[in-house]
Structure 1
Amino acid sequence: MLALLLLLSFTQVSESESLMVKILDRSLEAEDRMEHLADLAMLDGPLLLEEVIKVKNLARGDYLADFARCLGRCGSSATGELRKLLRSKVPEVNAEAVYALSIIADNDDFARGRLRMAKEPVESRVAALRALDHLGSPFARVEALRRLATATGPLLIEAMQILDRRRREEDIPYLIDVVADRTGMAQNLAVRMLQERTGYKIGPDARTWRWFLVKHRVEGTPFRSLETEGEKNVTLVYLGVPILGERVVFVLDSSSSMTERMRDSLLAKKKGDQAVEELAGLLPRLPHTGEFGVIFFESSVRAFSDTKLLSWTQEGVAKAIEFMRSNLFRGGTNIYDALETAFAYRDVEEVVLLTDGEPTVGKILDTEKILARVRKWNRWRNIRVSAISFSAPRRAQKFLQLLARENSGDIQIFD
């Protein structure tokens, strides 16, 4: 085992050195050098500040967060540069600086201080809370419990994920409060966590959860179900994938292969028609307080709304269904650009990707690199990503499984 760990460490170092050579190669186009910087940022292991600082003036836009993440791998020697980045107005850059400085400090004070700054970008407070967890601080759980009552969006989800990893019986009343006081993603995640811990199949009904909690306390028994009691939690489902959030983007494959029928049934609808009709039936049932988006991808990418998610209205749903039913299935499979478009929606909290194949066109075709980019986009946002395979080949299924697993989503595979 030790030999394997040493080999992996050596491989990472060698890869880092190779990428650094390419980043510093002025004969390459600036965009190519920054792509190598993005790849370098996703690796582990130490870096030399004198090497990383050479690309400071080259890093721009989205790549500035990659530069900040590389600085974090330089250790305490990069403290001064990282503190400068705390003034950045780019949330992802600020978050990388907060996380790195928290880990370098190796104590609770810096992270807890940033977490209490209400005007900090939410990404930075997510980074501070995650740093406490990664440092093994006992305050990680304390701060997570506090955020159940006060936080929203990615910070609330981060707190719930920490509590899910650090399970304690005394957390149950707090989770029931989330069921009572929250809606959408947070409420549904709290229900899932309670079901997993207790065995009860109660839905988003806080009164029933509290009744059983009191029952077990009076009896002096653990809060565990000896048999299935109550109703199973019923959530919205798209082709077997539960929809937990209130701001959801559906990303549908529109390539020419979607005109084929599923492998296991000659009588079934064509794959594209089935995907569209299932979604057409779901959209009217989405939360009326929520927002949604629909993206089709083939060789190019087309979104129903290019700039922001649409608030749920009967008129908006009707237009979205008309948009879907007028779609033509043709061209290749541009998964990378489709996911990039989905993550560009600032307030999205859930993405559902449906495809029947591997990437064939687009900016990035390598599925490992696509996964790496999604990790980057989702590093501080806690967006749930689920995937549906419509008779996709085994290699594509593996990619979709990893995509869902790494982003707290569900996977549904149809052969």
Structure 2
Amino acid sequence: MKLVFLLLLALVPGLPCSHALALRCAPGPPASIFAQSPSTGVDVRGLLRRVSQEKDAVDQEVFAAIAGSGDPGAFKALKQTVTFLSDRWPLTAAYRAFGAFEGTPNQKNSRKFLLDAALRHRRSINRVAATASLARLGANAAAELDKIVARAQDREARSTAVRALLPVYAERADLASAEAVLEYATPNGRNTTAIRRALQKLRGSKILRLYSGYLKDPEFSSAWRFLLLDVLSGWQDRGACALIAGMIRSEDEVLAAKAVEILGKSGYSHFVREIEPLVRSGPAAVLREALIAVTRLTDGDPYWLEDVLEYSRSKHPAIRMGAAVALLEIRTEGAIDRLLEMLDDEDWRVRVEVVEQVGLLHRLRAVPLLIERIDGETPRIARDMHLALRLLTGVDHGPRSARWRAWWHGEGENFQQPKATATRTAEIARQKRKKKSTTRGTFYGLQVLSERVVFVVDRSGSMNGRAMLPKGPERKKPEASTRFEVARDQILSVLPSLSDKTLFNLAFFGSRIFPWEDGLVRLDEKNLKRALKHVGRAPMGGGTNVWAGLMFAFDDPRVDTVFLLTDGQPSNGVVIDTQEIRARIERLNRTRKVVIHCVSVGRKSRFLRLLAKENGGLYTEAL
């Protein structure tokens, strides 16, 4: 009998199937509120009366039911529902329901009502909700959205309209469009990609002057500067490069390094005069990029090779790292000889850079040198050497030297080296089929191979969310708990399993950072007991300041590995935008060489997945 009723409901004239399904499946008001009338199949008056009685507590499916009823009075009834509401989400649902009138005789009236609400309603919450409804129509409502950009009282409403108009602005490709984007769009997460795509089509001398003014404005955000540098890098003309050159001495070392890198790839050799002085003094990120940029722009100048050889012996690690990359670019026998000598550099970060370049070199003469050194390195660098050996040979004889040495002794002289593309393809396939090992301590299933590690753990209010403690030696079955208690359980489990050679630290973050120690300490029995007692003492609550947690780890020059655990998007800190965090960390990590493993708790996180991938780490989820 129930099945017959549902089939009849789905076939009611004037009631779209989607609404019939929603009425059947959605929780909330009982089905009696959707009593059919002989003429339309939906009791619009009854639904309106329900909204007037329940107000913000009403089931939000009511608005879609009214709009899709086909009743002649549906438009007027839906307008009336708005007068009974004051909360953001019911208002958003009510205004959104006006989209059902698109393609009907009420389309013009619907858009006029929404535009009037967006521009003239006495409450900001209504103006923004009405704008959002028009924004869902995209280019189809371009005329109305243009008026909102020009006349709206609320910046949020203008920003919402601009976001919807980005594809339209890209087609118009005029100065007014560029001005609207720069003034009201907000680079944030995936929205940054849409803004970049639009701006890449907005070109010309007038727009270039507009960009110049914004880049010189001290109030212009760093997220926007990053984005504009990306956009200008795609222009590949002298005017854009000249504007980029104005950024190479920025006080923001990450922006300056990015500008230097772009100029280094531009092919305009006259920028050497501006970049070369930066090789000798400046922040680490700029020193490295400046040396590489000049190498690319001088294009095989033998005099510059002599300079690079000298720079490879500089006292500054960042300069030596840049020299390692430059020596690979030059690729003369003398350059290669010096690159291989740098495998014995005193600074671990320089050795990481050299090992990476040696893997890209793809010369068999490097193989015995790596075999000779792999056992004496830290686990972090030994991992990189093992990878370089696989990329050089296409075979895998494990992370220790004995089997590699035996293989090389037997086959070295006659070994036919595969092409670099083949070894890289084999390495990708290897990573896909690699199984997680349990021979060492793990944190949420991720191996802790490093002996210089910091665990950076979210302690914000959201970590009080429900989670399950897994079964283990102390629990015969999973137990209900909180996300932080699960993280605490993982820390308590992994620390005792680490080598006594390990240097480690703990840092918790909410709106600010709460470190255990100022820097790495030896994992002896005394410090282990102190650390285990400390876990859980950090204050709970506040926002999610991922940037502060990462910067704390980066500030200790001995740290080579970070395990980052969080359950939310960044919401506090100097840098909040996820794309800017990734861009800044990737840039800083060209001289820091820190592996970042990420654990996302309670949700999937594209941000954490990409952050780990871009910084040599692994990503896992605890859902």
On whether the aligned pair clears a TM of 0.5, the verdict is yes
Query: How far 1:271 sits from its partner (Å)?
Result: 2.5
Q: Is 1:412 aligned to 2:605, yes or no?
A: no
Is the contact between residue 404 and residue 411 of structure 1 (CA under 8 Å) also seen in structure 2? Answer: yes
Partner of 2:169 in structure 1? Answer: none
- Kindly indicate which of the two structures has a greater share of residues assigned to helix: 2
More RCO (CA 8 Å, sep 6+): 1
Q: Find the partner of 1:113 among 307, 313, 321.
A: 307
Partner of 2:112 in structure 1? Answer: none
Is the contact between residue 88 and residue 94 of structure 1 (CA under 8 Å) also seen in structure 2? Answer: yes
Partner of 2:609 in structure 1? Answer: 401
Q: Is 1:243 aligned to 2:438, yes or no?
A: no
**Whole-Å Cα distance in 1 between the matches of residues 615 and 560 of structure 2?**
11
Partner of 1:24 in structure 2? Answer: 213
Letter in 2 for 1:176: I
Deviates more, 1:48-57 or 1:153-162: 48-57
Q: Residues 205-284 of structure 1 correspond to what in structure 2 (within 5 A)? A: 206-215=401-410, 234-262=439-467, 267=479, 269-284=481-496
Query: How far 1:39 sits from its partner (Å)?
Result: 4.2
**Whole-Å Cα distance in 1 between the matches of residues 346 and 276 of structure 2?**
26
Is the contact between residue 239 and residue 278 of structure 1 (CA under 8 Å) also seen in structure 2? Answer: yes
Q: Residues 287-366 of structure 1 correspond to what in structure 2 (within 5 A)? A: 287-306=499-518, 308-366=519-577
Is the contact between residue 129 and residue 140 of structure 1 (CA under 8 Å) also seen in structure 2? Answer: no
Is the contact between residue 562 and residue 597 of structure 2 (CA under 8 Å) also seen in structure 1? Answer: yes
Query: How far 1:105 sits from its partner (Å)?
Result: 0.8
Letter in 2 for 1:163: V
Query: How far 1:160 sits from its partner (Å)?
Result: 1.8
CA 1:143/1:236 → structure 2, altered by over 3 Å: closer, same or farther?
Answer: farther
Q: Residues 6-85 of structure 1 correspond to what in structure 2 (within 5 A)? A: 12=200, 14=202, 21-22=210-211, 24-25=213-214, 28=217, 30=218, 32=220, 36-41=224-229, 44-45=233-234, 46=236, 48=239, 50-52=242-244, 54=246, 59=251, 64-66=256-258, 68-69=260-261, 72=264, 75-85=268-278
Is the contact between residue 201 and residue 233 of structure 1 (CA under 8 Å) also seen in structure 2? Answer: no
Is the contact between residue 112 and residue 128 of structure 1 (CA under 8 Å) also seen in structure 2? Answer: no
Query: How far 1:101 sits from its partner (Å)?
Result: 0.8
**Whole-Å Cα distance in 1 between the matches of residues 441 and 301 of structure 2?**
40
CA 1:70/1:414 → structure 2, altered by over 3 Å: closer, same or farther?
Answer: same
Is the contact between residue 388 and residue 412 of structure 1 (CA under 8 Å) also seen in structure 2? Answer: yes
Query: How far 1:41 sits from its partner (Å)?
Result: 4.8
Letter in 2 for 1:127: G
Say which SS state the counterpart of residue 126 (structure 1) adopts.
helix
Say which SS state the counterpart of residue 378 (structure 1) adopts.
helix
Partner of 1:227 in structure 2? Answer: none
**Whole-Å Cα distance in 2 between the matches of residues 10 and 252 of structure 1?**
37
Query: How far 1:350 sits from its partner (Å)?
Result: 1.5
CA 1:87/1:143 → structure 2, altered by over 3 Å: closer, same or farther?
Answer: closer
CA 1:10/1:114 → structure 2, altered by over 3 Å: closer, same or farther?
Answer: farther
CA 1:33/1:22 → structure 2, altered by over 3 Å: closer, same or farther?
Answer: farther
Q: In the TM superposition, what whole-angstrom CA distance separates every residue of 1:254-279 from its partner, at most 9, and x where no partner exists?
A: 22332334479763653322222322
Q: Find the partner of 2:581 among 343, 366, 370.
A: 370
Deviates more, 1:378-387 or 1:163-172: 163-172
Say which SS state the counterpart of residue 24 (structure 1) adopts.
helix
Letter in 2 for 1:295: A
**Whole-Å Cα distance in 1 between the matches of residues 522 and 565 of structure 2?**
22
Query: How far 1:292 sits from its partner (Å)?
Result: 2.4
Say which SS state the counterpart of residue 409 (structure 1) adopts.
coil
Partner of 2:593 in structure 1? Answer: 382
Query: How far 1:35 sits from its partner (Å)?
Result: 5.2
**RMSD over equivalenced CA pairs, Å:** 4.0
Query: How far 1:369 sits from its partner (Å)?
Result: 1.8
Say which SS state the counterpart of residue 454 (structure 2) adopts.
strand
Partner of 1:3 in structure 2? Answer: none
Is the contact between residue 111 and residue 129 of structure 1 (CA under 8 Å) also seen in structure 2? Answer: no
Q: Is 1:159 aligned to 2:354, yes or no?
A: yes
Say which SS state the counterpart of residue 336 (structure 1) adopts.
helix
Partner of 1:4 in structure 2? Answer: none
Normalized against structure 2, the TM-score is what?
Answer: 0.54
**Whole-Å Cα distance in 2 between the matches of residues 277 and 182 of structure 1?**
31
Query: How far 1:89 sits from its partner (Å)?
Result: 4.4
CA 1:391/1:186 → structure 2, altered by over 3 Å: closer, same or farther?
Answer: same
The unaligned stretches of length 5 or more in structure 1 are 1-7, 225-231
Say which SS state the counterpart of residue 325 (structure 1) adopts.
coil
Say which SS state the counterpart of residue 250 (structure 1) adopts.
strand
Is the contact between residue 99 and residue 131 of structure 1 (CA under 8 Å) also seen in structure 2? Answer: yes
**Whole-Å Cα distance in 1 between the matches of residues 203 and 455 of structure 2?**
36
CA 1:263/1:234 → structure 2, altered by over 3 Å: closer, same or farther?
Answer: closer
Is the contact between residue 23 and residue 37 of structure 1 (CA under 8 Å) also seen in structure 2? Answer: no
Deviates more, 1:317-326 or 1:136-145: 136-145
Query: How far 1:349 sits from its partner (Å)?
Result: 1.5
Q: Is 1:102 aligned to 2:295, yes or no?
A: yes
**Whole-Å Cα distance in 1 between the matches of residues 465 and 374 of structure 2?**
42
Deviates more, 1:88-97 or 1:49-58: 49-58
Letter in 2 for 1:24: G
Q: In the TM superposition, what whole-angstrom CA distance separates every residue of 1:100-143 from its partner, at most 9, and x where no partner exists?
A: 11111112743563354323421122222223445676777554
CA 1:317/1:19 → structure 2, altered by over 3 Å: closer, same or farther?
Answer: farther
**Whole-Å Cα distance in 2 between the matches of residues 349 and 22 of structure 1?**
38
* Pairs aligned (count): 394
Say which SS state the counterpart of residue 380 (structure 1) adopts.
helix
Say which SS state the counterpart of residue 506 (structure 2) adopts.
strand
The unaligned stretches of length 5 or more in structure 2 are 1-195, 419-436, 471-477
Q: Residues 122-141 of structure 1 correspond to what in structure 2 (within 5 A)? A: 122-133=317-328
- The structure that has the greater radius of gyration is 2
**Whole-Å Cα distance in 2 between the matches of residues 31 and 345 of structure 1?**
31
Letter in 2 for 1:87: R
**Whole-Å Cα distance in 2 between the matches of residues 50 and 363 of structure 1?**
29
CA 1:185/1:295 → structure 2, altered by over 3 Å: closer, same or farther?
Answer: same
**Whole-Å Cα distance in 1 between the matches of residues 453 and 500 of structure 2?**
12
Deviates more, 1:43-52 or 1:115-124: 43-52
Is the contact between residue 355 and residue 390 of structure 1 (CA under 8 Å) also seen in structure 2? Answer: yes
Q: Find the partner of 1:92 among 285, 291, 301.
A: 285
Letter in 2 for 1:324: V
